[in-house]
Amino acid sequence: MRVTRYSQYTGQWWDNLSLEDLLGELGDYLLQSGFEPGSFEDYDELESDQTLQQLYQAILAALADQGRIRSEDVQDWMQGKETAATQEFRQLLKSLVERMIQEGYIALPADDFGKLERDPHGFMGGAGSESSQVSFEMTNRTIDFLGYRTLRDLLGSLGKSSVGRHDTHELSTGVEASDAPKPYEFGDALNLDIPGTLLHAIRREGLKSPLLLDYDDLLVHQSEYQSSCATVLMLDCSHSMILYGEDRFTPAKRVALALAHLIGTQYPGDSLNIVLFHDGAEEVPVSRLARVAVGPYHTNTREGLRLARRILNSQRKDMRQIIMITDGKPSAITLPDGRIYKNPMGLDPWILKETFKEVADCRRAGILINTFMLARDYDLVGFVQKVTEICRGKAYFTTPMTLGRYLLMDYMTKKMRTIH
């Protein structure tokens, strides 16, 4: 008689991989901003598509760095060799990509996942594979996760810090009482201190029924006034942000995502808008930021400030500020007829004059400008100091490694003043 033995299915080792940890390792790839030499030819868009073939390579490289697979086997996979290890990679990649889709971290165009399953080499990659033609998109869940992960890492490097709403020295008549009550004034929230109000009336009328209340008897609770802030984050995406052997734009994007997560979770009354400035300027939603890349552009700082000022003028907040992250001098301005005047050689006096005029307009509108400079050239230092002098803001000369620490600490520790 034939006997069939059953054993418990334990699955594959990659079934226990944490997608969150894997996405953390893939952060540099998912937020990449630079280009290889020569890739600016015929480049006319800010966003670059990412294909599944590239995602496969990034996943295998991350697993090799963790010591889970061998680098030699990854090389065989990239060269299209058929080995036991590369066959296993096909199952591994299929499983991980399926989990990323099911858990809402990435999205594929309609029917493309079916094409991959029908293609015998779809999950192997290589020349002729469908995966080299299929692009994927990060979902809002992935964007939010990367912002949270960056914020957690940055706050971890700061040690203990209290993250809350912007406290001020002012008091308001809010719902949460935290100070002695005060006489009611027209316009206050009618959050009555009932015991105090009744005692005032009793002292005046005596203990009787009915007890008549007078306007002067009314007392209201006071709470600490918490102000709101409207922020425009200006990101320089000119060519210099990836030159000189250093990618400065990817750390800037990480900090932007971290700031968006911080504001969304800890400062719900605040607002954040993202403005990219290059030959011109444009506003982008946070959901698009991860896919934005630098290009063969100049630095039109004035146009970026002008757009930021228009956005902030429409905001009804206690404080309005511009946070500008850049590494270069202004090298372009937009002419009245829409043409772009460019001069990358030195500091052009005309460009500087027009840029400083826009900084002065921001100051007159009550907008503060804080500049985070990722370079320390002599001319740039002078430019930033002049901007700071005009707008009475702050200037930080930092590096991509310390940018997040400076920016987040500045935002969290800022004491907002009530503007009457």
385 in the same domain as 243: yes
Distance CA 251, CA 231 (A): 19
Distance CA 295, CA 240 (A): 9
Asked if residue 194 belongs to a domain, the reply is yes
106 in the same domain as 30: yes
- Is 89 strand, coil or helix? helix
Handedness of CA 148, 150, 153, 158 (dihedral sign): negative
Distance of CA 359 to the CA centre of its chain: 24
Distance CA 229, CA 319 (A): 5
Asked if residue 419 belongs to a domain, the reply is no
pTM score above 0.85: no
Q: Which domain holds residue 79?
A: 13-137
122 in the same domain as 43: yes
382 in the same domain as 281: yes
Query: 332-334 and 219-226 as β-strands: parallel, antiparallel, unpaired?
Result: unpaired
Helix (H) or strand (E) holding 371: strand 367-373
Asked if residue 145 belongs to a domain, the reply is no
86 in the same domain as 183: no
344 in the same domain as 219: no
326 in the same domain as 257: yes
Distance CA 238, CA 373 (A): 14
343 in the same domain as 237: yes
296 in the same domain as 193: no
pLDDT number for residue 28: 80
Asked if residue 112 belongs to a domain, the reply is yes
Distance CA 272, CA 231 (A): 5
194 in the same domain as 159: no
pLDDT number for residue 233: 92
238 in the same domain as 339: yes
Asked if residue 147 belongs to a domain, the reply is no
Asked if residue 3 belongs to a domain, the reply is no
| Residues in contact with 412: Cβ distance below 8 Å, sequence separation at least 6, in sequence order | 161, 163, 262
- In tens digits, what is the pLDDT along the chain, a chain of 420 residues? 566 665 555 568 888 888 888 888 888 888 877 545 444 444 445 555 677 888 888 899 889 888 888 888 888 888 878 888 888 888 888 888 888 888 888 888 765 666 655 554 555 554 455 556 777 888 888 888 888 888 877 766 555 444 444 444 444 444 444 457 778 777 666 677 888 888 888 888 888 888 888 878 888 776 554 567 889 999 999 888 887 767 888 888 888 888 888 888 888 788 899 999 999 999 999 888 888 888 888 999 999 999 999 999 998 887 889 999 888 789 999 999 989 999 888 788 999 999 999 999 999 999 999 888 887 777 788 888 889 889 888 888 888 888 887 787 777 665 434 333
409 in the same domain as 290: yes
pLDDT number for residue 176: 45
The domain tally of the chain equals 3
Quick one: tokens of 394?
């702050």
